[in-house]
Amino acid sequence: MVPPLGRSPEMNDHGSTRNDDRTALDGRSQVTAEPEATTTTTVIESPDAITGISWRRVYECPSPTAFRARHRERPEERGWIALDRTFTERLESAPVFEPDFAPEIGSLPLVDAMVFLLAATRTDPPGRIGHVAARTAARFSGRATVRMTGAPLHAGEQVVERVVDRLLEIHRVLAPEAAAPEFEIAIPREGVGDSHALAAGIACVLALFGCRCRASTAATGGYDPVTGRFRPVPAATLGAKLAAASRWGLRRIMVVEGQAFDGINDLLPVSGHGGPPGSPASPGSWVWRGIELRALPADPAALPIRVVEEIAQAPRVDVLRQALGLYDRHVARNLGTTLEAVHEATAAFLPARFDVEVARRCDGGGERDGIGEGSNQDEGIDSILALMAADIRSRKNLHAGRSEEASAWFEIAKRFRGRDDLPDGVLGDHLLYEQAAHRAVIAIDQGVLEDDGTGTGPHAVLEDRLTDLDRRWCTTNQSMQRIFLANTRARQRLYLGRLELDVGRCEAALADCLAHESRWASLLETYAGRRLRLGNTNLRRQENFWIEHLVTFAMLQDPRGFDRLAWRPDRRPLEGLLQARTPWMERNEGEAADDSAHADPGAYDLLALLQWHWLAAGGATPDQLRAAAGRLLELAAAARTGEPPHPLPAIAGWLLRLDADGVLDRPALHRILIEAVRAHVIPAVGSPDPGAGSIQRVLAHRSARILDLEGVSNGAGGGWAETVSTVLRPASLERYLHRIIEDPELVLARCPY
Cα separation, 88 vs 83, whole angstroms: 8
- Single out the residue in 310, 337, 360 at which a domain terminates: 310
Instruction: State the pLDDT at residue 584.
Output: 52
Cα separation, 678 vs 608, whole angstroms: 26
| Range in 22-31, 98-107, 169-178 with the lowest mean pLDDT | 22-31
Alpha-carbon dihedral of residues 22, 188, 198, 85, nearest 10 degrees? -70
> Based on the domain organization, do 46 and 29 belong to the same domain?
yes
Rounded to 5°, angle at Cα 464 from 462 and 466 = 70
CA distances from residue 262 to 7, 239, 265, 473 in whole angstroms, order as listed: 43, 10, 8, 60
Band of the pLDDT at 10, cuts 50, 70, 90?
very low
Q: Which residues, other chains included, contact 198 with Cβ-Cβ below 8 Å and sequence gap of 6+?
A: 219, 220, 221, 222, 223, 230, 254, 255, 256, 296
Query: Is residue 245, in this structure, part of any structural domain at all?
Result: yes
Which residue stretches of 311-369 are H helix?
317-327, 339-346, 352-361
DSSP 3-state of 216 = coil
> Based on the domain organization, do 100 and 125 belong to the same domain?
no
Tell me the pLDDT tens digit for each residue of 410-469. Answer: 999 999 999 999 998 888 999 999 999 999 999 999 999 999 888 889 999 999 999 999
Instruction: State the pLDDT at residue 597.
Output: 41
Tell me the pLDDT tens digit for each residue of 356-366. Answer: 999 998 875 54
- Please give the model's pTM, rounded to 2 decimal places: 0.79
Percent of the chain scored above 70 by pLDDT?
86
Mind spelling out the 3-state secondary structure of 92-107? CCCCCCCCCCCCCCCC
- Single out the residue in 294, 310, 326 at which a domain terminates: 310
DSSP assignment of 379-416: TTS-HHHHHHHHHHHHHHHHHTT-HHHHHHHHHHHHHT
Over its C-alpha atoms, the chain yields an Rg (Å, rounded) of: 30
Tell me the pLDDT tens digit for each residue of 187-224. Answer: 999 988 999 999 999 999 999 999 999 999 999 999 99
**Element at 66 (helix H, strand E):** helix 66-73
Overall number of domains in the chain:
2
Instruction: State the pLDDT at residue 283.
Output: 60
Phi, psi at 560, each rounded to 5°? -75, -35
Query: Is residue 260, in this structure, part of any structural domain at all?
Result: yes
Instruction: State the pLDDT at residue 141.
Output: 63
> Based on the domain organization, do 150 and 297 belong to the same domain?
yes
Which CATH number is 160's domain given? 3.30.230.10
CA distances from residue 363 to 313, 683, 687, 694 in whole angstroms, order as listed: 39, 14, 11, 12
> Based on the domain organization, do 83 and 123 belong to the same domain?
no
Residue type, 123: T
* 696 contacts 445 by C-beta, under 8 angstroms: no
CA atoms lying within 13 Å on the CB side of residue 553: 20
DSSP 3-state of 325 = helix
> Based on the domain organization, do 22 and 160 belong to the same domain?
no
> Based on the domain organization, do 46 and 149 belong to the same domain?
no
Percent of the chain scored above 90 by pLDDT?
69
- For residue 134, the enclosing domain spans 111-310
Tell me the pLDDT tens digit for each residue of 35-83. Answer: 333 333 232 333 333 547 889 999 999 999 999 999 999 998 999 999 9
Tell me the pLDDT tens digit for each residue of 245-285. Answer: 999 999 999 999 999 999 999 999 986 544 333 333 346 89
> Based on the domain organization, do 120 and 252 belong to the same domain?
yes
- Single out the residue in 83, 110, 137 at which a domain terminates: 110
Tell me the pLDDT tens digit for each residue of 286-308. Answer: 999 999 999 999 999 999 999 99
* 30 contacts 2 by C-beta, under 8 angstroms: yes
